[in-house]
């Protein structure tokens, strides 16, 4: 219920809405996702865990935006995008919520992440991105219409 109120508020503010689906924007976000993932691994090798954690989050977030734009949903809010994964697409968003908290934690001086914990994060992020890319690539026009309808009905 809390998530629904949050999404409704953002919809009224125009921060989330239906738009025309865009294959071009989807592809752009997928390229960014891949680039951020590669950069994160490079920073990890230099033991730059703070920066690497931030890039891993954005890699996953850009994969989510690729899905949203493929189905014609605009979201200008990180948390809303993550919530939409579950509410509209019925996809598990628990890992992304954890990763988002880790990213926010990097903004504070007491941020601490063990190397092994990061290895687990990067593996889960890679799995998440692969699974989401697979989901996106299998979307049919009928499924896209269905998700758009579900989005519309969510706000009635």
pLDDT, position 24: 98
pLDDT, position 43: 82
Domain positions in the chain: 2-154
Least confident of 53-67, 96-110, 134-148: 96-110
Angle (CA) 61-64-66 rounded to 5° is 115
Mean pLDDT for the chain overall:
94
pLDDT, position 137: 97
Task: Report H helices in the chain.
Answer: 2-12, 23-45, 49-71, 78-87, 94-105, 115-137, 141-154
- For helices 94-105 and 115-137, give the axis angle rounded to 10 degrees: 130
The token duo for 107 is 């903004």
Q: Taking 90 as the threshold, does the pLDDT of residue 111 lie above it?
A: no
Q: pTM value?
A: 0.94
The token duo for 117 is 């914990």
Q: Taking 80 as the threshold, does the pLDDT of residue 113 lie above it?
A: no
Architecture of the CATH domain 2-154: Up-down Bundle (1.20)
Is residue 40 within 8 A of residue 122, CB to CB? The reply is yes
Closest to 55 in 3D by CA, of 38, 36, 41: 36
Spatial distance between the Cα atoms of 24 and 128, rounded to a whole number of angstroms: 22
Spatial distance between the Cα atoms of 118 and 150, rounded to a whole number of angstroms: 36
pLDDT, position 83: 97
Q: What is the mean pLDDT of residues 130-145?
A: 98
Spatial distance between the Cα atoms of 132 and 91, rounded to a whole number of angstroms: 9
Q: Which residue has the higher pLDDT, 110 or 131?
A: 131
pLDDT, position 23: 96
Q: What is the mean pLDDT of residues 23-40?
A: 97
pLDDT, position 118: 85
């Amino acid at each position: 219920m809390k998530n629904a109120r949050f999404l409704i508020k953002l919809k009224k503010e125009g921060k989330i809405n239906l738009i025309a689906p865009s294959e071009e924007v989807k592809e752009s976000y997928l390229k960014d996702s891949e680039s951020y993932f590669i950069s994160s691994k490079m920073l990890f090798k230099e033991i730059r865990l703070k920066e690497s954690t931030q890039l891993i989050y954005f890699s996953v977030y850009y994969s989510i935006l690729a899905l949203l734009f493929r189905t014609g949903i605009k979201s200008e809010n990180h948390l809303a995008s993550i919530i939409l994964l579950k509410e509209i697409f019925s996809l598990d968003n628990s890992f992304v919520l954890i990763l988002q908290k880790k990213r926010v934690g990097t903004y504070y001086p007491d941020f601490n992440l063990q190397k092994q914990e990061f290895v687990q994060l990067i593996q889960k992020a890679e799995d998440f991105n692969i699974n989401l890319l697979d989901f996106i690539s299998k979307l049919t026009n009928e499924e896209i219409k269905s998700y758009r309808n579900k989005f519309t009905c969510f706000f009635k």
